[in-house]
């Protein structure tokens, strides 16, 4: 193959030129004298038309024997064709087979069950639907980082291995750690982000976080990626404003850059076009009252389950903040409500259409005595929080932050049935492979 190697997404700039594509054959149609090779190289897809009389006998025969997902180099001339999805087609002049699988590609054109697909996630990622979701994932992360960078945030990542329980003793992955006592896989990077906020003001951490929850729902993973901004001197209201501006920015960015991907997923774009600030804001008290009117039996004071969140979000056409939950159902670090010590200054941001919680946020307890009392009330080991309490000893400060679950945001934006498609390598109770 002597023609220059060009990526498929750049082909339109090379009309009339002879080029080489390096990639895989993901589909093929043949008549007696013509092969229609559907090629992909990770940047896009293009059809290569191979006419028997225009190529060597060997190349035409080799093309005939190609299995799906054979790796190939294809040489041809670029032709503009507005009927083609990529706007171009390739008139094939040469074929080099890098590797023709010696068995049928397992994820063929027929439908497969979800467990089979997840067992073959390392191959399923090649399919057009999974490519669309992963491109949207990349854009969600890009937009979130771009927004925070533009707003003056510093990325200060938190550790994955930690000795402090960040969210709650129930959902912990515990591991032996040399002669130390226990270590855990981080449930959240928040506590460290709070320390970083005292150093840099506006910070965020972004990485995998882990929950050993036995939740077999379409919203729960045991490993998920979380974006956790933290801001010194932000109170509850400023925290809410930051959350809605970030989410609106992400949705606008995805609508701008991933329209084709969203449409290929059959997503109703009008639902996302409504995601503009201000989002709805209701208190926990108002929300529980609405839920009871809608038939929920969740008693006052309890947290909302998936069912409640689904019912609630179906009453609104854009994201809803539910704020100031009862202290007893929320984490130890949340600031008491100044007018009602039974409540805390927190919020959950619920995505509409039944997607539920995508963000959990709060103003943090900055009063040392109250924080120690909460740590004790929760039965946590005060010793492992001595460094965290130092933040209240050396210049305590009002501060707030939140955690946005990336996969939950992606599932909502893409309109996915289950969060597992939002992760390249989903981890659930029964799956840590591939």
- Which residues sit at the interface with Mg ion, rule CB under 5 A? 360
Listed ranges 117-125, 128-136, 251-259, 352-360: which one lies at the site for ligand NSS (CB under 6 A): 352-360
Told to check if 24 binds ligand NSS by CB under 6 A, we report: no
Which residues does residue 38 pair with via DSSP β-bridges, in sequence order?
27, 47
With beta carbons less than 8 A apart as the criterion, state whether 175 and 162 touch: no
Structure token pair of residue 404? 């946005």
Element (H, E) at 300: none
Given the complex with ligand NSS, which of 54 and 353 has the nearer CB atom? 353
Give min distance, CB of 167 to ligand NSS, in A.
5
- C-alpha pair distances (Å), 373 with each of 13, 147, 163, 336, 365: 66, 37, 20, 12, 11
Told to check if 211 binds ligand NSS by CB under 6 A, we report: yes
CA geometry: angle 406, 209, 416, nearest 5 deg: 30
| The binder of ligand NSS chosen from 326, 352, 401, 426 (CB under 6 A) | 401
- The span from the CA of 25 to the CA of 121, in Å, is 19
Is residue 266 exposed (0-12), middle (13-18) or buried (19+ Cβ within 10 Å)?
A: exposed
Site for ligand NSS in 154-183 (CB under 6 A): 166-167
CB contact set of 338 (below 8 Å; sequence gap of 6+): none
| The binder of ligand NSS chosen from 224, 234, 321, 412 (CB under 6 A) | 224
Closest by CA to 147, choosing from 78, 229, 210, is 229
Structure token pair of residue 295? 């038939």
Give min distance, CB of 211 to ligand NSS, in A.
4
| The binder of ligand NSS chosen from 93, 190, 243, 428 (CB under 6 A) | 190
Provide the CB-side half-sphere exposure for 48 (13 A, CA).
36
Residue 410 near which of Mg ion, ligand NSS, none (CB within 5-8 Å, type-dependent) = none
Told to check if 47 binds ligand NSS by CB under 6 A, we report: no
Structure token pair of residue 218? 């379409």
Give min distance, CB of 181 to ligand NSS, in A.
22
Give min distance, CB of 167 to Mg ion, in A.
8
Measured on CA atoms in the order 53, 59, 62, 67, is the torsion positive or negative? Answer: negative
Give min distance, CB of 271 to ligand NSS, in A.
19
- The span from the CA of 209 to the CA of 189, in Å, is 8
- The span from the CA of 399 to the CA of 362, in Å, is 9
Told to check if 41 binds ligand NSS by CB under 6 A, we report: no
Told to check if 44 binds ligand NSS by CB under 6 A, we report: no
Given the complex with Mg ion, which of 20 and 310 has the nearer CB atom? 310
Given the complex with ligand NSS, which of 6 and 140 has the nearer CB atom? 140
- The span from the CA of 266 to the CA of 420, in Å, is 18
Given the complex with ligand NSS, which of 74 and 232 has the nearer CB atom? 232
Told to check if 244 binds ligand NSS by CB under 6 A, we report: no
Q: Report how many residues bind ligand NSS under the rule CB under 6 A.
A: 22
Given the complex with Mg ion, which of 45 and 188 has the nearer CB atom? 188
Listed ranges 115-123, 222-230, 265-273, 378-386: which one lies at the site for ligand NSS (CB under 6 A): 222-230
Give min distance, CB of 58 to ligand NSS, in A.
52
Coil, helix or strand at residue 54: helix
Question: How are beta strands 356-363 and 320-323 bridged, if at all?
Answer: unpaired
Residue 220 near which of ligand NSS, Mg ion, none (CB within 5-8 Å, type-dependent) = ligand NSS
Rule CB under 6 A: which residues touch ligand NSS?
Answer: 166-167, 188, 190, 211, 213, 220-221, 224, 226, 228, 357-361, 401-403, 405, 407-408
């Amino acid at each position: 193959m002597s023609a220059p190697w060009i990526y498929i997404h750049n082909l339109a700039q090379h009309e009339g030129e002879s080029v080489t594509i390096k990639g895989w054959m993901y589909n093929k149609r043949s008549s007696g004298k013509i092969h229609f090779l559907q090629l992909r190289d990770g940047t896009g897809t293009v059809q290569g038309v191979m006419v028997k009389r225009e190529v060597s006998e060997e190349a035409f025969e080799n093309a005939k024997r190609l299995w799906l997902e054979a790796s190939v180099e294809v040489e041809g001339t670029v032709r503009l064709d507005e009927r083609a999805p990529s706007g171009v087609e390739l008139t094939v002049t040469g074929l080099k087979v890098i590797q023709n699988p010696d068995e049928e590609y397992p994820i063929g054109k027929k439908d497969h069950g979800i467990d089979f697909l997840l067992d073959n996630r390392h191959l399923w990622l090649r399919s057009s639907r999974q490519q669309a979701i992963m491109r949207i994932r990349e854009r969600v992360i890009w937009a979130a980082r771009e927004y925070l960078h533009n707003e003056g945030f510093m990325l200060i990542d938190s550790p994955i291995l930690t000795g402090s329980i960040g969210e709650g003793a129930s959902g912990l992955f515990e591991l032996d750690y040399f002669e130390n006592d226990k270590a855990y896989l981080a449930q959240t990077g928040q506590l460290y982000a709070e320390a970083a906020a005292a150093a840099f003001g506006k910070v965020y951490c972004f990485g995998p976080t882990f929950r050993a929850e036995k939740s077999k729902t379409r919203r729960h993973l045991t490993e998920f990626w979380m974006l956790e901004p933290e801001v010194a001197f932000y109170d509850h209201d400023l925290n809410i404003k930051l959350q809605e501006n970030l989410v609106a920015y992400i949705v606008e960015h995805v609508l701008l850059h991933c329209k084709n991907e969203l449409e290929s997923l059959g997503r109703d774009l009008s639902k996302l076009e409504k995601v503009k600030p201000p989002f709805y804001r209701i208190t926990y008290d108002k929300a529980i009252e609405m839920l009871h009117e809608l038939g929920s039996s969740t008693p006052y004071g309890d947290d909302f389950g998936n069912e409640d969140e689904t019912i609630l979000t179906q009453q609104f056409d854009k994201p809803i903040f539910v704020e100031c939950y009862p202290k007893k159902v929320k984490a130890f670090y949340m600031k008491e409500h100044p007018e009602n010590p039974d409540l805390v200054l927190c919020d959950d941001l619920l995505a509409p259409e039944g997607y539920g919680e995508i963000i959990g946020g709060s103003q943090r307890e900055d009063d040392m005595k109250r924080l120690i009392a909460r740590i004790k009330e929760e039965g946590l080991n005060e010793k492992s929080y001595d460094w965290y309490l130092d933040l209240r000893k050396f210049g305590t400060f009002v501060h707030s932050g939140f955690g946005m679950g990336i996969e939950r945001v992606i599932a909502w934006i893409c309109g996915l049935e289950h969060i597992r498609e939002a992760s390249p390598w989903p981890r659930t109770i029964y799956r840590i492979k591939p």
